[in-house]
Amino acid sequence: MDRPTVTIHPQAASRARKFFFLLVALGMAFIISIILFDKIFMPTAVRHDDDRLVPSVIGFSVDSAGAVLQSVDLGVAVVGEEFSSAYPAGIIISQLPPPGMRVREGRLIKVSVSKGNQRLVVPNVVGMGRRQAELLLLDYGLYVGEIVEVDTSGVEKGVVLASFPSPGAGVAPQSRVTLTVAAGGVEPDSTWVPNLVGRSLEEAKKRIAASGLELEDLDYEDNELVLPGTVLRQNPPGGAAVRRGEGVKLWVARSE
């Protein structure tokens, strides 16, 4: 007796294979979800009590920031310094991680500290031509401000006689420097006042005499930024054209 023939329809076989692969995919997805839950979610949930909320320490000194961070079981590490016009020197201007972020207990918060305002030194351009002085000031990150022309004798036209601020002074970047330049000849009995600011009193006296002028008056002022006996101000200013024999008044740093 012949056995009955079983015929499997192609569409039924295709559905069976799809169902089998679906079961395999669901099984793998279940296994992966179990692994992720065990390795990521559970440790995160368990360690949540060890997390710390990062406070803001911007605007604090490093010592004060260390105390604040220590109170929440964190630490501080200075990783850089930058010039800042908004914060004085020694004050924190940025931090990483930022405030409000949660981190592990004991994490070091990296901070950058202000170096204060950037100060540039005015170069000595006295004796240079006007164009040369302008180029040198640009090299120093400064600009030429007002140009004051004065009549002079024995000095070539356009030569810089003085600058304000004076050479060696500290200024902010992109500051403007006023130049006093020679405009040409003066009356035979006239001369130009030498720039005396920043020089010692003894040297200033010699330059006044060499210019045919006299020391008319002398005042002393307290100033801890320069050496005692240093000329702080003068009148008339350096580069001014005056008659020979006229007086010059000086303000000098007081000796201790």
Report how far residue 247's alpha carbon sits from residue 243's, in angstroms, rounded to the nearest whole number: 9
**CATH of region 190-256:** 3.30.10.20
Helical H segments across the chain, by residue range: 10-36, 42-47, 62-70, 130-139, 201-210
Q: 35 CB contacts (<8 Å, ≥6 apart)?
A: none
For 120-129, the pLDDT digits (tens) are 889 999 888 8
Per-residue pLDDT, 225: 81
Q: How would you write the pLDDT of the chain (256 residues) with one tens digit per residue?
A: 455 554 555 666 666 677 777 777 787 887 887 777 666 655 555 455 578 999 999 999 999 999 999 999 999 999 999 988 888 899 999 999 999 999 999 999 999 999 988 888 899 998 888 888 999 999 999 999 999 988 776 677 788 889 999 888 888 888 999 999 888 665 557 777 888 988 899 999 998 998 889 999 999 998 888 889 999 999 988 877 788 899 999 999 987 6
Q: β-strands 51-53, 102-104: how paired?
A: antiparallel
**CATH of region 49-114:** 3.30.10.20
Residue range(s) of every CATH 3.30.10.20 domain in the chain: 49-114, 119-186, 190-256
Residue bearing tokens 């024995």 = 154
| Cut 0.75: pTM above it | no
Per-residue pLDDT, 12: 60
**CATH of region 119-186:** 3.30.10.20
